Chains A and B, each alone.
Chain A
Amino acid sequence: MDKKGEGGDILYDVIIYLILLVIFFVGMLYYVLQQQGGAAIWEEYYAKEIVKMIDFSRAEDEFFFDVQRASEIAKKNGVLNFNKMFSFDNAAHEVCVKLNVGRKTCYSYFNDVDIINADLKFAEGKNEEREDVNVLYFKIVEKQKKNVGESKDEK
C-alpha cells in the first residue's frame, strides 16, 4: 500500500514521460511540416539555381527567373508575404529562399557582386506553354565597396 506518498513519485514519472512525448511530437511535427510538399527541397533547388546564375553573371546582367512553382508551394504552405520568399544579402553574399513558415534555406555565391532591384513580378513572364508565370527579377552590379553593399535587399 502507498502510505508514504509514493503516488507523487508515480505522478512525477508520468509528467517526465509526457514532457518527453510532447517535445518529441512537436519536433517531429515541425520537421514533417517543413518537408510538406517538398518545400525544403524546392527551397534548396531555387537557392542553388539563383546562386548559379549569380556566379555565372557579370555586372549589368539582368535576370528574369521563372518562380511559378515556388509561388505555388509558398501559397500552399501559408506563406502570406510573397516578398519574403527570396532574399539577397549582399554583405554576406547569400541568397535565401523561404517557401514555408519557419525556417529558410540559404546558399552563398562567390562572385563578388551586388544584387539590386530584386522584385517578384506577378504573372509577368511566359513559360514554354505561353502561360503567365510569376518571375523573379534582379540585376547584378559591381560590388559597392561602401555601406550600400551592406544593405539587405529583401524581396
Chain B
Amino acid sequence: MRNKRGDLGDNIMIFTYLFFMIIIGLGIVLGTYIFYGKGYDFREGEAALLNYKVRECILKSDVNDDFGNKLYEVCGLSKEVIDKDFLLRVCKNSKDCINERDKEKLLIGEGSKFQACELEGGKENEAFPRCAIKSFIKGKDKFEIISGSKQFSRRKL
C-alpha cells in the first residue's frame, strides 16, 4: 500500500518523545548529583589501610618462600574480597614491582592493571583505582607493597 498521507511522520515522533524523556531524566539525575555531590569516596583510605595491614604483617611475620601463599591467612585478610575489589602486589628486592614477573621477587600479585597506579592522569579519573605504594626494609630485604581499591558501594534490594 502506498503511503500518500505521510503516516511515517507520526511514527517518527517517538524519537522526539524519547529524546525529551532522556533530556528530562538526565536533568533530574544531574540536578540531584549537583545538589548532593559525588558522594563519599573511601578508596584512597582503604588502599592505604590495606597497605598498612600488609606492612605490619610482614614486619611481624617470618617471610619465607611460602609466605605469598599464606599471606591472607597470616595477615587475616579475606581473599574473596581482595580478589573482587582490590589490587595487591607485594615484592621483595624488586626494582620495578609494578612490572615484576620474577616469581621469586613477587610474593603476591592479586588483580591486574597495576600500571593504572602509576598514571598521574588516573588520579583525575573516577574509574581508575586509588592506590597506595609503600616500600620498607626488613633485615636485609627491601619490600614494596602496592595496594589499590576499585570498590564502589553497591545498591541492593
Interface, chain A (partner B; CB < 8 A): 13, 16-17, 20-21, 24, 27-28, 31-32, 35, 38, 40-41, 43-45, 47-48, 51-52, 55-56, 93, 96, 102-113, 143
Binding site for A on B (CB under 8 A): 10-11, 14, 17-18, 21, 24-25, 28-29, 32, 36-37, 39-40, 42, 45-46, 49-50, 53, 72, 76-78, 80-82, 84-86, 151, 153-157
Interface contact tally, CB-CB below 8 A = 97
Known: A28-B25, A31-B28, A96-B156. A111 touches B76 (CB 8 A): yes
Q: List the B side residues contacting A102 at CB < 8 Å.
A: 157
Instruction: Answer whether A13 and B10 are a contact pair too, CB < 8 Å, given A48-B42, A55-B49, A102-B157.
Output: yes
30 pairs from A and B in contact (CB 8 Å cutoff): A13-B11, A16-B14, A24-B25, A27-B25, A31-B29, A32-B28, A35-B36, A41-B37, A41-B40, A43-B153, A44-B40, A44-B153, A45-B40, A47-B153, A52-B45, A93-B81, A103-B155, A104-B155, A105-B154, A106-B153, A106-B154, A106-B155, A106-B156, A110-B78, A110-B85, A110-B86, A111-B53, A111-B76, A112-B76, A112-B78
Residues of A close to B40: CB separation below 8 A: 41, 44-45, 48
Query: Which of B39, B49, B153 interacts with A56 by CB under 8 Å?
Result: B49
Question: If the complex has contacts A106-B153, A111-B76, are A41 and B39 also in contact, measured as CB distance less than 8 A?
Answer: yes
Q: 13 additional contacts, CB 8 Å, given A108-B81, A112-B72?
A: A13-B10, A20-B17, A27-B25, A55-B46, A55-B53, A103-B156, A104-B155, A106-B156, A107-B151, A107-B153, A108-B151, A110-B50, A111-B78
